[in-house]
């Protein structure tokens, strides 16, 4: 037998060494973890006395509506004194849910009674334009199904969308779990059970062992330069295998339920799906609508009588505010479920996914009864690896919501001088 060249050897093993495509393999394991943004919209405002901490500074015991977030208290900050000035105009008082929802991420005034649809570009789409080329989906829009909207004709568009690709192009949220999952993960290995994934890894290792046996059989006939090249090749193959094992583990969809029938199950399944999408680097920018503006969710499973939008008109009376506080606590408990999932997800460098993900939770109005746009209810979570200092109650004294959006963009590396109609100065989040 003649001398075996590097080309001959590689041609011989190329047909047996075939690894499945995984998007994360396009990036080296040791590359810095990317920054992510996630915006969670919850309709109908909150009862402030059970939401806002009494003192500024480090968070102590959380108020009742935030109690479900206790396990992630060091990963959140409550932001007070931030207004949505985009809705400081007369028509917003008549159509508060339309203006509050439509402008929440755009910082732009909307006028539902004016013919035609017109808004600004939302902050998530600004980020997607700058960062979205790195992933399969520049951004994702997800949500729970709308319930009994109090709007008509084209004006529903403002209540049903927080993400806007252009002033006339709202991006509808996907509310069907199976459709959302299939869109994100069709053709990937995320549906493999742990047992099936283990069999696949064993098969890959078997192929590598075969390659190693064949290498040993021919290495004595290789020249010195070819042996060095072959060693380099096998080192790369072994590193690739290690990265495949890490990626398949990180992207396992084991335990994800797509058959949710209750509001709680659907919300938590969507949270699981968002964590999976970020872990697998399918996207780095997500918006989630717990419901459209003025949503009429039924919370009888919490022993709350009346639909959410109706009970949010509580007259600021103690007796009628109680059920709304119950709903507030439950909704923020769903945020806690998401944050705990992000905290449990580990990046290749050993850090937490939550440390690289900035999450903003908020509503279209401050008080459901008054339909106010001052002192908006806001929770900012995660992002410690992006320089955000958490575990705080921060008061900003009348800053604009658009300035918060500027600050979040800045933390993920997107710098702009202005945003929306009033954003000119990024808030301090350090």
Look at residue 337 and tell me whether its pLDDT is greater than 50. yes
* Tokens 């058959």 sit on residue: 259
Give phi and psi for 289, each to the nearest 5.
-105, 110
Are 213 and 309 in the same domain?
no
Task: Report, as an integer, the average pLDDT of 67-79.
Answer: 98
Taking phi over 0 as left and psi of -120 to 50 as alpha, with beta for the rest, 153 belongs to: left
pTM above 0.85, yes or no: no
Distance separating alpha carbons of residues 168 and 395, to the nearest angstrom? 34
Q: Quick check: 278 and 36 in contact, CB under 8 A?
A: yes
Residue scoring higher pLDDT (27 or 151)? 151
Strands 285-289 and 36-41: parallel
Q: Give bridge partners of residue 170 from the DSSP assignment.
A: 164
For 227, the domain range is 6-22+193-248
Residues 287 and 347 in one domain: yes
Residue 152's pLDDT is 58
Residue 422 domain-assigned (yes or no) = no
| 220 and 300 housed in the same domain | no
Give the residues across from 423 on adjacent strands: 419
Q: Are residues 163 and 296 in the same domain?
A: yes
Question: How many domains are contained in the chain?
Answer: 2
Whole-angstrom CA distances from 152 to 14, 87, 176, 267, 343 are 61, 20, 23, 26, 41
- What are the distances in angstroms from CA 238 to CA 208, 241, 362? 8, 5, 46
Q: What is the dihedral of CA 188, 194, 196, 197, to 10 degrees?
A: 50
CA nearest to 369, candidates 328, 317, 326: 317
Pair (370, 232) in one structural domain:
no
Residue recorded with tokens 């949270």: 271
Flag whether 29 is in a domain: no
Closest CA to 339 of 350, 355, 327: 355
In a domain, 419, yes or no: no
CA angle 259–264–269, rounded 5-degree value:
45
Q: Note whether residue 372 is domain-resident.
A: yes
Convert the pLDDT of each residue in 346-375 to its tens digit: 998 899 999 999 999 999 999 999 999 999
Q: Return the beta strands (E) in 108-188 as ranges.
A: 140-143, 164-166, 169-170
Residue 27 lies in a domain: no
pLDDT > 70: percent of the chain: 76
pLDDT computed for residue 244 by the predictor: 40
Whole-angstrom CA distances from 380 to 35, 257, 283, 317, 425 are 15, 27, 20, 29, 18
* Alpha-carbon span 119 to 112, nearest angstrom: 10
What lies within 8 Å, CB to CB, of 310 at 6+ separation is 296
pLDDT in tens, 188-211: 555 455 565 455 455 445 445 555
**DSSP-derived secondary structure for 312-351:** T--TT-HHHHHHHHHHHHHHHHHHHHHHHHHHH-B-TTS-
The C-alpha torsion from 14 through 16 and 20 to 24, rounded to 10°, is -50
Residue 91 has pLDDT above 70, yes or no: yes
What pLDDT sits at residue 149? 59
Kindly report, residue by residue over 283-323, the tens digit of the pLDDT. Answer: 999 999 999 998 889 999 999 999 999 899 898 888 889 99
Are residue 142 and residue 222 in the same domain, yes or no?
no
More confident position, 7 or 252: 252
Same domain, 161 and 306: yes
The pLDDT score that the predictor gives to residue 345 is: 95
Answer for the pair 426, 417: CB distance below 8 angstroms, yes or no: no
Q: Is 234 exposed, middle or buried (0-12, 13-18, 19+ CB in 10 A)?
A: middle
Do 181 and 279 lie in a common domain? yes
Distances (CA, A) of 275 to 132, 272, 301, 405: 17, 5, 26, 22
Helix (H, G, I), strand (E, B) or coil at 426: coil
Say what the pLDDT of residue 319 is: 83
Instruction: Give per-residue pLDDT as tens, 135-182.
Output: 999 999 999 987 655 555 566 899 999 999 999 999 999 999 999 998
Q: What is the pLDDT of residues 109-140, one digit of tens each?
A: 999 888 889 999 999 999 999 999 999 999 99
- Note whether 326 and 302 are within 8 A (CB): yes
Choose between 194 and 9: higher pLDDT.
194
Going by DSSP bridges, is the β-strand pair 392-400/76-83 parallel, antiparallel, or unpaired?
parallel
CATH number for position 299? 3.40.720
Q: Look up residue 5 and give its DSSP letter.
A: P
| Judgement on whether residues 227 and 310 belong to the same structural domain of the protein | no
- pLDDT class of 226 with cuts at 50, 70, 90: low
Same domain? 82 vs 225: no
41 compared with 258, residue with greater pLDDT: 41
> Which of 209, 251, 258 has its CA nearest to residue 234?
209
Say what the pLDDT of residue 257 is. 81
Question: What is the C-alpha to C-alpha distance for residues 48 and 336, in angstroms, rounded to an integer?
Answer: 19
The residue written with tokens 């910082």 in the block is 107
The SS3 of residue 2 is: coil
How far CA 56 is from CA of 32, 52, 394, in Å, comes to: 34, 10, 6
Let me know whether 238 and 268 are in one domain.
Answer: no
Does one domain contain both 139 and 159? yes
Residue 255 is assigned to a structural domain of this protein: no
- Residue 137: inside a domain: yes
* Both structure tokens of 353: 């996914």
Q: Is 30 among the domain residues?
A: no
Q: Are 395 and 78 in contact (CB under 8 A)?
A: no
Average pLDDT over residues 216-227: 66
Please give the average per-residue pLDDT across 389-399, as a whole number. 97
């Amino acid at each position: 037998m003649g001398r075996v060249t590097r080309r001959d050897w590689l041609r011989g093993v190329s047909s047996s060494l075939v690894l499945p495509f995984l998007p994360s393999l396009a990036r080296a394991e040791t590359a810095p973890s990317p920054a992510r943004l996630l915006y969670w919209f919850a309709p109908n405002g909150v009862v402030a006395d059970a939401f806002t901490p009494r003192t500024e500074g480090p968070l102590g015991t959380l108020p009742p509506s935030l109690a479900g977030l206790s396990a992630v208290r060091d990963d959140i900050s409550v932001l007070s004194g931030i207004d949505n000035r985009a809705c400081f105009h007369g028509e917003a008082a008549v159509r508060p849910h339309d203006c509050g929802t439509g402008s929440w991420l755009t910082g732009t005034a909307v006028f539902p009674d004016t013919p035609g649809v017109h808004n600004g570009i939302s902050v998530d789409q600004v980020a997607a334009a700058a960062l979205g080329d790195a992933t399969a989906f520049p951004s994702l829009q997800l949500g729970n199904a709308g319930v009994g909207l109090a709007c008509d004709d084209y004006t529903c568009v403002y209540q049903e969308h927080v993400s806007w690709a252009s002033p006339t192009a709202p991006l509808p949220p996907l509310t069907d779990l199976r459709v959302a999952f299939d869109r994100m993960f069709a053709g990937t290995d995320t549906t493999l059970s742990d047992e099936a994934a283990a069999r696949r890894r064993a098969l890959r290792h078997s192929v590598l062992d075969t390659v190693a046996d064949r290498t040993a059989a021919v290495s004595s006939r290789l020249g010195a330069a070819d042996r060095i090249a072959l060693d380099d090749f096998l080192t790369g193959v072994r590193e690739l295998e290690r990265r495949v094992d890490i990626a398949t583990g990180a992207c396992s969809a084991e335990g994800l339920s797509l058959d949710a029938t209750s509001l709680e199950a659907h919300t938590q399944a969507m949270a699981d799906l968002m964590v999976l999408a970020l872990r697998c680097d399918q996207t780095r920018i997500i918006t989630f609508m717990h419901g459209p503006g003025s949503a009429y969710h039924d919370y009888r499973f919490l022993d709350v009588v009346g639909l959410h939008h109706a009970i949010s008109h509580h007259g600021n009376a103690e007796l009628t505010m109680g059920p709304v506080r119950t709903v507030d606590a439950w909704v923020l408990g769903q945020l806690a479920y998401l944050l705990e999932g992000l905290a449990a997800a580990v990046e290749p460098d050993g850090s937490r996914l939550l440390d690289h993900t900035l999450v903003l939770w908020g509503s279209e109005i401050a008080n459901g009864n008054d339909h106010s746009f001052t002192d908006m209810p806001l929770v900012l979570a995660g992002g410690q690896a992006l320089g955000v200092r958490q575990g705080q109650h921060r008061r900003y004294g009348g800053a604009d919501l658009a300035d918060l959006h500027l600050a979040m963009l800045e933390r993920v590396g997107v710098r702009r001088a202005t945003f929306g109609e009033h954003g000119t100065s990024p808030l301090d989040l350090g």
